Structure 1
Amino acid sequence: MRAEAKGERRGRGKAQNGREAAEFETDDMDERIIAALRQNGRIANRDLARDMGVNEATVRTRLRRLEEANMLRVVAMRDLSAMGFEYLAPVGVQVKGRAATAVGEELARLERVITVNVAIGTHDLEIQVVSSSLAEMEELLTNVIAKIDGVERLFPSLALKVLKYNPEWAPL
């Protein structure tokens, strides 16, 4: 196996049919395209090509290759603060009497629950909840989430200030 060149990144994407794709390498140009799309997901291929000093066909081909390997997806992301969600709470959930996955699937259907992860460790599930007020957060935690069948105990925290949130790795 050859050593990776500087700036080259390896990954294994999933093909559109869900099967594992062949090993895929991104280079500096791919990373520059991705970085530009992080800044402006609506930039035209023509403008992106001009900014990068390449022709539009090169950008189009590379984007198609990244998308087909499921290494890149351009999506709209909500700005939670701009939408009025001033409170973010990471919550550990202990489950009893029901499969953690089943409880997690039910939690995932709640609009204000923005992430659900099955975990190993102290908590069976780790979730994130958003709300527009502390009263709404209290209602969600005590009268909605805590009442779901299988939820034994909640371990909520309240994010006072989000210092880093890296949306480039989401959604999964």
Structure 2
Amino acid sequence: MAKALDTIDRRILKALVANGRLSNAELAKEVGLSASPCWQRVKRMEDEGIIAGYTTLLDHRALGVGETVMVEVQLEHHDARSLEVLTEAMAKIPEVLEIYLMAGDFDFFLKIAVSGTQGVEEFLREKLFRVPGLRHSKSNFSLRCVKQVAAYVPD
């Protein structure tokens, strides 16, 4: 069973969310610990799965895929196999950034990064619409990202 997070653990998590490139020494200084206990806490949170991994946020606009599109997907059937087929197909597509299984008016919510309306059309026609069992999709274009965080650390 995972150990309950204390104030220092939460400060470590918040510091890492703000800057995942902090060295252990920098992190320890920021949260008021010496290096060894800081490293032990980080290691424990990694082992317990609280820290699931480390990544780099990219500027998609600078990479030529600056349009973020949210795609709502409805399936014909709601059996386990249909859900699995769509999930596996979308997970293999690099421009699909996030996949959510939903409750409500649609079955899946996809977040994709593409290059303009042509990129959206190609994604829909060449990738999404080829998945068997798809009933309907609806695309919503993001005008601008107003907030982007990698994670939320509750107090």
Unaligned runs of 5+ in 2: none
| The 10-residue stretch of structure 1 (47-56 or 157-166) with the greater mean CA deviation from structure 2 | 47-56
1:18-38 deviations in whole A, cap 9, x for unaligned? xxxx14311221111112222
**Offset at residue 60 of structure 1 (A):** 1.1
What secondary structure sits across from 1:37 in the alignment?
helix
Question: Which protein has greater RCO, CA pairs closer than 8 Å, 6+ apart?
Answer: 2
From 43, 46, 56, the equivalent of 1:64 is 43
Q: CA deviation at 1:149?
A: 1.4
Q: What SS class does the counterpart of residue 99 from structure 1 fall into?
A: helix
Letter in 2 for 1:69: E
Shift, 1:68, TM fit: 1.3
1:78 is the counterpart of 2:83: no
CA contact (8 A) 2:2 2:48 kept: no
SS in 2 for 1:157: strand
1:26 and 2:20 are equivalent in the alignment? no
| TM-score of the pair, normalised by structure 1 | 0.76
- Aligned-residue CA RMSD in angstroms? 1.9
> How many residues were matched structurally?
148
The answer (yes or no) to whether the contact 1:101–1:118 under 8 Å persists in 2 is: no
Deviation at 1:120, TM superposition (A): 2.1
More strand by share: 1
The CA deviation string for residues 109-128 of structure 1, in whole angstroms up to 9 with x for no partner, is 11111112222221121111
Matching residue within 80, 90, 93 for 2:70 = 90
Cα offset, 1:104, TM superposition: 2.1
Show the counterpart of 1:14. none
What is the deviation of 1:133?
2.0
2:149 pairs with 1:166 = yes
- Please identify runs of 4+ aligned residues in structure 1 that moved more than 3 A: none
What is the CA–CA distance in structure 1 between the aligned matches of 2:72 and 2:144, rounded to whole Å? 19
Q: Deviations over 1:29-50 (max 9, x none)?
A: 1111112222322222122223
SS class of match (1:114):
strand
Percent of aligned pairs with the same amino acid: 23
| 1:10 match | none
Structure 1 alignment gaps of length 5 or more: 1-21
Q: Which stretch of the first structure deviates more once superposed, 143-152 or 122-131?
A: 143-152
